[in-house]
Structure 1
């Protein structure tokens, strides 16, 4: 399949796998370019039928309830990122010698000759925040940019839309990277690696390898986390363009070719004239919102990518000051009777919760939900010194309770034994009873929310509402 000019697509038989958020725009885009598009989808419910009718009205073929069979004559498969690599459709495509692309690969191939370069970010946690920080820094430097990929503007829209960009800040998941073999970023970062989505990838090694694809062919910088050796290993294994540099970020003082922190200042010893002897001040820790350790790491990663693109130091500071975190990411809700209440409902896995728990001295921890196969031993061991007490709810709370009993037996635990949405008010009331002035009541569930709530946003909203009720009665 050629470089992706419009003429290449005329009459091409393309199968799009999945009617999801990426599948529908991809199908419309390819149809508009003249391809003969067939969409296949496992589900056949009312929503799928409505979506199918919309596509069929355009002249796109849709097959519902049959995502396993490869349509006759398929020359290319474009898949939604969530579809597992071992699906029969993909086996059939591989056996037939048919390429399989994800939405990211499609966007990459459809870029014009003068397309904006990509600064790409992946990692188990912190991707969205880092990409949003990066976009703010780039904007502060006067560059036309957008946060795209897993968030914000769709990549296809960014690549083919009317708007002209100088550079794109791109968030990529391990799924998207798996299906993007020819992606070559200007510079890229892997923020961290922790077990996640192993049911999809099959093993930690396969998961890490897919994350590592982000470094392939980088031109200027491969940004890694000094505290997470696995990310540096991925840089070593990557096949990059000549002259591309490995750039580390650290919460400590930086060595040459690193960004780090000295006396409350974010400093750059990578993109300066004499990195052996000098460092460039970029911003103060207090410019990072919130200045929790893992968020400072996100800021350093964003700064490293921006500096790799030639952004001046002042833009790093101005961009970080302009950044406001998304809701439910270590969001301070209120102070009630000397106790701070913080909503980190977005901490849906142990790695995110660990970062959140490290940010406060003395915590009454509200946790629990759907564990998604996670274990909590390491989280509890590392966080025990910060815990005043724990309040547990949700379907898999027993796993956290057992880890606390084994590794932090001195920490008082309240097991609410509830999975109804009203449990959140009870949890906040119990936490208030256990907290002392100066403590932080922290919702960092370390679990997904779907056992009790529609999503983590609704869970965070329930927490904030419960805290407001406390404040009203205070």
Structure 2
């Protein structure tokens, strides 16, 4: 087996036998890059290409000489003679082919780890963001701030575009704003960001990681080797604990963000103003104004926290206060994130399908006064007792859907027995219309029908976006009927 640990962009990959597990966006980027570098590449995935783009990519790779083994049974046995495995982020260590690689001491890297190793000599710095919730919004906020400062920036990683693609792009960039999931961090070992943030920590993906300790340890990897700033959430002490445990470069600072007035080396809020007492010359007696809460399109507390975290990373990079304000003023969140669909008979219908875990759903519910809550799907090993305990006073009723809806129902019975519950079966045509109609039957004028499922969508939908689209379409049909 060849030692690939020291290979970078300009090393010789000729003859390296590499296996790529997974043929999604990250898998294609990894296979294409490794083939370009000269490696002998095999790709395995239990699923055949599902759309025209994937089929075109498969044809391209096969034309280039990549060995594609796609379909049932392709991931049960590790090919012989491998020097490296590069895995797509969602693949768990218990997957047979990965388990065999680890047992055989074959290096297993994630696509992001490969990207880090292939950076060029003048590569742009990495500003990395992880956490249970708010990652995508915060990365996009950070990208908006960096662009407002006149920097050539890109939002990449778990947000959509693979980090590897950005790293190998010949178009020069000044800085990368990178969203990293716990999966991506699990399969990383040498990444050392310029600055990094853990936004929050709550139980999620425990079925994949096996325990909350393992999940938190994966998140904490984002702080390893940080050069400038480790940004943490003052209201979530577990994030600060990860900073304290990290092995960082000399001179790296711990920077907190809080919804209250900031202490030294913190960003916070004073009378509605976003204030910086971390990156000012005399932070003991003064602060810099970075804008105001009213500058944000959504002033909900969790969005203010996201803005402060993005601002902290930007300020650590040297961005001026005015650019932070300008970037936050222009920022608008993507679809399926607390997006109001319509108002019918005095009832608001809100699509927060991106709330795929209990922590995100709790933030969403606490943002409304009275909700008919649409919840359920795949629980990913989570429980919902704390969520219901913290939000029961906001619940007019609940409509439960999906494979693990009984887990939500049990939490409601234990902690909110007076909240009426309706369950809607199935996923066939008309399913979401029945869900919306059930919610309407419980809602009163002034209420919000809130799709914040606290669960993944894959039991019934392609992804959370498809779930949100189905909800929005059903609401618009309801609106048209009057």
TM-score class, shorter: over 0.9
3-state SS, counterpart of residue 460 of structure 2: coil
Mapping of residues 234-313 of structure 1, within 5 Å? 234-313=242-321
Q: Which residue of 2 aligns with 1:216?
A: 224
Distance 2:109 2:292 in 1: 42
**1:470 shift after superposition:** 3.5
Work out which of the residue numbers 461, 464, 470 in structure 1 matches 2:469.
461
3-state SS, counterpart of residue 164 of structure 1: coil
CA 1:332–1:14: 2 relative to 1, 3 Å: same
Q: Which residue of 1 aligns with 2:83?
A: 75
CA 1:158–1:272: 2 relative to 1, 3 Å: same
CA 1:409–1:244: 2 relative to 1, 3 Å: same
Work out which of the residue numbers 122, 134, 137 in structure 2 matches 1:126.
134
CA 1:413–1:96: 2 relative to 1, 3 Å: closer
CA contact (8 A) 2:205 2:382 kept: no
> Is residue 408 of structure 1 aligned with residue 416 of structure 2?
yes
| TM-score, normalised with respect to structure 2 | 0.92
Distance 1:46 1:359 in 2: 37
Q: Which residue of 2 aligns with 1:59?
A: 65
**1:23 shift after superposition:** 1.8
Distance 1:439 1:94 in 2: 52
Q: Which residue of 1 aligns with 2:42?
A: 38
**1:3 shift after superposition:** 4.5
Q: What is the Cα-based RMSD across aligned positions, in Å?
A: 2.2
Mapping of residues 363-378 of structure 1, within 5 Å? 363-378=371-386
**1:153 shift after superposition:** 2.8
CA contact (8 A) 2:205 2:381 kept: no
Q: Which residue of 2 aligns with 1:17?
A: 21
Distance 2:402 2:41 in 1: 43
CA 1:312–1:45: 2 relative to 1, 3 Å: closer
* Greater Cα shift, 136-145 or 243-252: 243-252
Distance 1:267 1:44 in 2: 51
Distance 1:52 1:347 in 2: 33
CA contact (8 A) 2:206 2:381 kept: no
CA contact (8 A) 2:273 2:290 kept: yes
* Greater Cα shift, 57-66 or 339-348: 57-66
Distance 2:423 2:68 in 1: 48
Distance 1:95 1:338 in 2: 60
Encode CA deviations 1:185-233: one digit per residue, 9 max, x unaligned.
Answer: 0000111111212222122111111111100010111011111111111
**1:44 shift after superposition:** 6.2
**1:264 shift after superposition:** 1.6
CA 1:264–1:11: 2 relative to 1, 3 Å: same
CA contact (8 A) 1:38 1:63 kept: yes
CA 1:151–1:245: 2 relative to 1, 3 Å: same
**1:455 shift after superposition:** 2.5
* Greater Cα shift, 424-433 or 176-185: 424-433
3-state SS, counterpart of residue 285 of structure 2: coil
Encode CA deviations 1:349-376: one digit per residue, 9 max, x unaligned.
Answer: 2111011011112222222233333221
3-state SS, counterpart of residue 12 of structure 2: helix
* Greater Cα shift, 277-286 or 369-378: 369-378
CA 1:54–1:162: 2 relative to 1, 3 Å: closer
| TM-score, normalised with respect to structure 1 | 0.94
Q: Which residue of 1 aligns with 2:436?
A: 428
Distance 2:407 2:108 in 1: 39
CA contact (8 A) 1:187 1:218 kept: yes
- Could you tell me which runs of 5 or more consecutive residues in structure 2 were left unpaired when the two chains were aligned: none
Q: Which residue of 2 aligns with 1:106?
A: 114
CA contact (8 A) 2:204 2:381 kept: no
Q: Which residue of 1 aligns with 2:214?
A: 206
